[in-house]
Structure 1
Amino acid sequence: MIWKWKKNKPTEEAEVISIASPLTGACVSLEEVPDEAFAQGAMGPGAAMIPQEGRLVAPIDGKVVHLIKSHHAVMLEHASGLQLLLHIGINTVSLKGQGFTPQVQTGDQVTVGQTLIEFDLSAITSAGYPVITPVIIANTAEQQWQAHPNYGNAEAGLGTIMKVSLPK
């Protein structure tokens, strides 16, 4: 679908990409993330998810361009060039991969709903880390992607938590 966003109202002419829910849970504002870099948008625009289960799925069709060594985060790239960072929890890099089981590797092609990483919610919370998961547009410096979040409950791989547009 091609749209142009003008003062948050679509008119025809710009590309809009729908971002499916990467988790089952609630989609909330980045401002709710207890990490200043994410909450203030320094990492890029987007939304965050509060997961109810430990399964992260692909919210777009694309390529795994980077699976973080500790398996707590992954970056995907859509055919349009849009890059999404999916970061499970806050400061979970400190777990050094414990509680995270990747189901993909860098270079893999993925489709919406495909499992990317399984993770142990209780192990993360027991270790004292928040499980809130930022979903960030990672390459806004190269292209002026705009995020239009859709807050509320969603099921992994279904629904739309955000529409992303690239004005032409």
Structure 2
Amino acid sequence: MARVTLKGNPVNTNGELPEKGTTAPDFKLTNTDLSEVTLSELKGRKIILNIFPSIDTSTCATSVRKFNEKAASLDNAVVLCISKDLPFAHKRFCGAEGIENVMSLSDFRNTDFARRYGVQLEDGPLAGLNARAVVVIDENGTVVHSELVSEIVDEPDYDAALIS
């Protein structure tokens, strides 16, 4: 179990992020068109997981915008923006914001993603949602970078994720 804070108040996650050098756990997430996306389908590309509580909060929205901007220049890489929001909320946000360079995905249907990646918030006002984290997976499915953002309202380290 890891501990983060929400506006200074301690909150626990269900586990730890996958460690650098380990094989990333497979997952099944729901795309905005309600199709399913798995990690194994994306193998052969660098994958950046931008994990957050809700697209309808300012920090989460900012992270999607920034990764969208930065993803436009990435070769053989994909950024997955993941929350428990319904796919309809992801689609609405991305359409309104002109977000086209990332995949917005929901783990509302297959909740094992948050448990496998150790990001499920176990207590506090956001219990059941995802903590803010970034995990980078190389073309072979190996974790090359992970960051659990210690304060949920803070943004992740974009540069560290992108140079991994």
Query: Which TM-score bucket, shorter chain as reference?
Result: 0.3 to 0.5
- Which one has a larger percent strand, Structure 1 or Structure 2? 1
**TM-score, normalization: structure 2?**
0.36
